[in-house]
């Protein structure tokens, strides 16, 4: 691998828009390109990466921070749980009460350790503008916003994008995710672009709505690692592949 990996934060202006599922799907696709991936679960109080992957986690971000604070820290890998040969995770605390003990000053340290150990670092967040999330947005190479065809979500994203534009951020891409609520079609793509006052870079279509997604999550599988995926979801598979190659190539060509 190259000496320094690419860090990508998956975020949104509203909850429940598909961030966690998309993070897992992107990780799966990077695996198919033989990239070593670390997923960091910065949804500290209610993250679901370890649970979705059925991983029994010993150490979390909380232990990393706690050990670092108390001079017990030795190696980054001691805090990592492995999903398979290519995908590792750094889990959110098991006990949500530990989340508030994680100071945002550690975000830089964590991302730094991560990018020197992995090709790709995917960071799942929640939609709240907490210090942790603000630091993350500030430090990552790439930001991926997920948005749905929902008025509140779109209005919130517009405010968020305005802030990013004010502070001259241009390292973000926006994905319209039609797969979480495929029946919601109130606004056209043209309307959506007008509401958020920004471009939609990619669309995950309503054909990617997966009826038995709960089964897949319960079994700990990643959708994009299913060998039937490229055939069943060919259009959205191509889109997601485009997302991951764009993210990787843009950084590599810098």
Token pair of 23, please? Answer: 């993070």
Interface pick for ligand ATP out of 1, 15, 84, 234 (rule CB under 6 A): 15
Is 126 among the residues that bind ligand ATP (CB under 6 A)? Answer: yes
Is 243 among the residues that bind ligand ATP (CB under 6 A)? Answer: no
**144 beta partners:** 10, 173
Q: Between β-strands 87-90 and 172-177, what pairing exists: parallel, antiparallel or unpaired?
A: unpaired
Would you say 46 or 162 has its CB closer to ligand ATP? 46
DSSP secondary structure of 110-172: HHHHHHTT-SEEEEE--SS--HHHHHHHHH-SEEEEEE-S-HHHHHHHHHHHHHHHHTT---E
Q: Between β-strands 6-12 and 87-90, what pairing exists: parallel, antiparallel or unpaired?
A: unpaired
The CB-nearest residue to Mg ion is: 20
Provide the CA 21 distance to its chain's centre, in angstroms: 8
Q: Give the footprint of Mg ion on this chain (CB under 5 A).
A: 19-20
Q: Between β-strands 37-41 and 81-82, what pairing exists: parallel, antiparallel or unpaired?
A: unpaired
Contacts to ligand ATP from residues 170-209, by CB under 6 A: 179-180, 208-209
**Closest CB 74 distance from ligand ATP, rounded Å:** 31
**Closest CB 12 distance from ligand ATP, rounded Å:** 6
Interface pick for ligand ATP out of 134, 163, 213, 232 (rule CB under 6 A): 213
Would you say 92 or 251 has its CB closer to ligand ATP? 92
* Positions that interact with ligand ATP (CB under 6 A): 12, 15-21, 43, 126-127, 179-180, 208-210, 213
């Amino acid at each position: 691998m190259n000496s320094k990996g690419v860090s990508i934060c998956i975020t949104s202006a509203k909850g429940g828009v598909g961030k966690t599922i998309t993070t897992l799907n992107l990780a799966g696709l990077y695996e198919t390109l033989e990239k070593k991936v670390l997923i960091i679960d910065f949804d500290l109080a209610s993250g679901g990466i370890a649970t979705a992957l059925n991983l029994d986690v010993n150490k979390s971000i909380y232990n990393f921070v706690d050990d670092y604070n108390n001079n017990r820290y030795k190696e980054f890998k001691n805090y990592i749980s492995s999903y398979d040969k290519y995908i590792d995770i750094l889990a959110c605390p098991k006990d949500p009460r530990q989340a508030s003990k994680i100071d945002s000053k550690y975000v830089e340290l964590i991302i730094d350790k991560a990018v020197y150990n992995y090709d790709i670092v995917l960071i799942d967040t929640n939609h709240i503008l907490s210090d942790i999330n603000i630091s993350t947005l500030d430090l990552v190479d790439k930001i991926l916003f997920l948005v749905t065809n929902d008025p509140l979500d779109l209005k919130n994203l517009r405010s968020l994008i305005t802030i990013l534009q004010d502070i001259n951020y241009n390292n973000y891409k926006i994905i319209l995710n039609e797969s979480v609520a495929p029946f919601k079609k109130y606004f056209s793509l043209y309307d959506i672009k007008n509401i958020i006052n920004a471009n939609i870079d990619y669309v995950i279509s309503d054909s990617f709505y997966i009826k038995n997604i709960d089964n897949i999550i319960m079994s700990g599988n990643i959708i994009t690692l299913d060998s039937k995926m490229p055939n069943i979801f060919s259009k959205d598979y191509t889109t997601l592949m485009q997302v991951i190659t764009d993210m990787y190539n843009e950084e590599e060509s810098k």
